[in-house]
Amino acid sequence: MTSVVRGMSWIAIFIGVCVAPLVFALVGASQPGQGFWTDFSVALGFVGLALMGVEFALVARVRQIAEPFGTDAVIDFHRYIGTTGLIFVLVHVALSADWSQANPFTPSDTPPLVVVGGVAVAALLLLIVTSVWRRRLRLSYEWWQVLHAVLAVVAVVAAVVHVLLVDHYVDTAWKRALWVVMAAAFVWVLLWVRVIRPLRLRRRPWVIHEARPEADRTTVITLRPQGHDGMQFAPGQFAWISIGRSPFLITSHPFSFSSSAERSDEVSMAIKAIGDFTSSVAEAQPGTVVHLDGPHGVFSIDHAEGAGYGLVAGGVGVAPALSMVETLADRSDARPVVLFVGARDQDSIILHERIEALRERLDLRVVYVLENPPPGWEGEVGYLDAQIMARHLPDGYRRFQYFACGPVPMLKAVEESLVGLGVPGDRVHTERFDWV
């Protein structure tokens, strides 16, 4: 099945999941005459709940869902439908709620239907607020992951209970059975993420072989499998990792592989210290157990055939680019590769020695672009733009495939520059990792 067909299939399933509860709720209603606005509000509530359930599947790291679209697109979609679902639910509350039934001074007199509905709305609001304004609220990534998971479960469970307590629209056994099935599907996804997959990861541990300091507060960890054959991955892909912790804990972190995909018995990752977890990586000792959930992502030269490759890396975005270049070298690939590396200054270029060593192994041109160059620097200066690219790309560059990973402003500029140079948009691939 091609990627396009799989993508269309998932879109059809998504539409079906959202529409089915609405159809089953409105068909055969036992008490007609409730009024248009009441029916409309219930419709919005049902669709909003379905969207909340779909969110579980989107963040469950299911490769079959992400591959047709790409991880960035799936995460963006997750954000959009989360906001859309919240709007639907709030409008549902505004149109259908009988505010006289909710007495804040005597909560025991408030109907259970209203109580669980209020819990669902409150949890959903907190979930959105803590996600959109996580940095302003100074929530660490680790605590946000825990809070996000708990609030999501509370919101969906409370919303399903709210639906089952509604007599008019869920008044027959087959309608209730539909919602039970949907709730069971949500629970299954939760079990997969929090129980089944951690059990599988526990059976395939890795250990740190080396933790080596690199430029710009970055540590390169090298991992080796313990008791299994390792992992096959495509160059440019990433994995979620937890170091020295149980795989059943909620928090884990995504990092790209920085090593050749031709080796499955040893992998490496470049991790920059920007938070609590990443700052602790430098202290990791050889022999520490690590769990890898992967590989994930479609940001890879193996998923896009071209006459050559243009790679753009900013900061720690060098890691997936290096994985691609080392893989091409190990495969003795003769196609030309141009690697643009953007950095603050010469001392902040990550994995510089490994990049330079690859010049002798394949047709590789490396272009460093420094914001603050040292005295006597003869390379490119400033920010990567169309003019710099045009100076270094060879003839036939429009037939290349391009992969860019780094800060979001840089990626936007790269996309605009390449399209402005005549590169077809479907040949430009980006990896943001700016998910929260």
CATH of the domain at 262: 2.40.30.10
At 378-407, the pLDDT tens digits run: 899 999 999 999 999 999 999 999 999 988
Q: In this structure, are 248 and 122 located in the same domain?
A: no
* Pairwise CA distance, residues 418 & 197, whole Å: 40
What is the number of other CB atoms lying within 10 angstroms of the CB of residue 434? 10
Query: Are 223 and 340 within one domain?
Result: no
- Is 389 a domain residue? yes
The answer to whether position 436 is within a domain reads no
What residue numbers bound the domain in which 416 lies?
Answer: 301-431
Instruction: Assess whether 174 and 257 both reside in one domain.
Output: no
For residue 404 the two structure tokens come to 């860019």
Asked if residue 21 belongs to a domain, the reply is: yes
In which band, very low, low, confident or very high, does the pLDDT at 29 lie, cut at 50, 70 and 90?
A: low
Same domain, 98 and 134: yes
Query: b or e along 126-160 (b: 16 or more beta carbons within 10 Å of the residue's beta carbon)?
Result: bbbebbeebeeeebebbbbbebbbebbbbbbbbbb
Q: Quote the Cα angle for 254-256-258, to 5°.
A: 150
At 276, the pLDDT band (50, 70, 90 cuts) reads confident
The backbone region for 313, taken as left when phi is positive above 0, alpha when psi lies in -120 to 50, beta otherwise, is beta
Mean pLDDT of the chain: 85
Last residue of a domain, one of 247, 263, 296: 296
DSSP, collapsed to helix, strand or coil, labels residue 384 as coil
Q: Are 195 and 211 within one domain?
A: no
Q: Which of 2, 15, 105 has its CA nearest to residue 54?
A: 15
Beta carbons of 337 and 362 less than 8 angstroms apart: yes
Split at pLDDT 50, 70, 90, the class of 115 is confident
Q: For the ranges 160-169, 193-202, 334-343, 419-428, which has the lowest average pLDDT?
A: 160-169
pLDDT exceeds cutoff 60 at 72: yes
Smallest CA-to-CA distance from 216 within 22, 389, 406, 428 is with: 406
- pLDDT above 90 (res 176): no
Q: Which two tokens stand for residue 432?
A: 């943001």
pLDDT value for 161: 84
Domain count, the chain: 3
DSSP output for 191-204:
HIIIIIHHHHHHTS
Q: State whether 151 and 25 are in the same domain.
A: yes
Alpha helices in 59-207 (DSSP H): 63-66, 71-96, 112-132, 141-164, 173-191, 197-202
Are residues 154 and 119 in contact, defined by beta-carbon separation less than 8 angstroms? yes
288-344, pLDDT tens digit by residue? 999 999 899 889 999 888 899 999 999 889 999 999 999 999 999 999 999 999 999
pLDDT of 60 above 80: no
Which of 165, 200, 235 terminates a domain? The answer is 200
Q: Are residues 104 and 252 in the same domain?
A: no
Same domain, residue pair 44 and 80: yes
pLDDT digits (tens, 9 = 90+) for 235-268: 999 999 999 888 887 778 889 999 999 988 899 9
The confidence band for 70, taking pLDDT boundaries of 50, 70 and 90, is confident
Per-residue confidence band for 279, with pLDDT thresholds at 50, 70 and 90:
confident
Domain boundary among 296, 314, 339: 296
Give pLDDT, residue 351: 93
Window from 83-87, 100-104, 367-371 with minimum mean pLDDT: 100-104
Cα–Cα nearest to 75, from 395, 436, 416, 376: 436
The answer on 156 and 77 residing in a single domain is yes
What does pTM read for this prediction? 0.83
Asked whether 146 and 251 are in contact (CB, 8 A), the reply is yes
Residue 99: is its pLDDT beyond 60?
Answer: no
* 47 and 187 inside one domain: yes
Residues 145, 266, single domain; the answer is no
Do both 281 and 347 map to the same domain?
Answer: no
**Residue 256 dihedral angles phi and psi, to the nearest 5°:** -75, 150
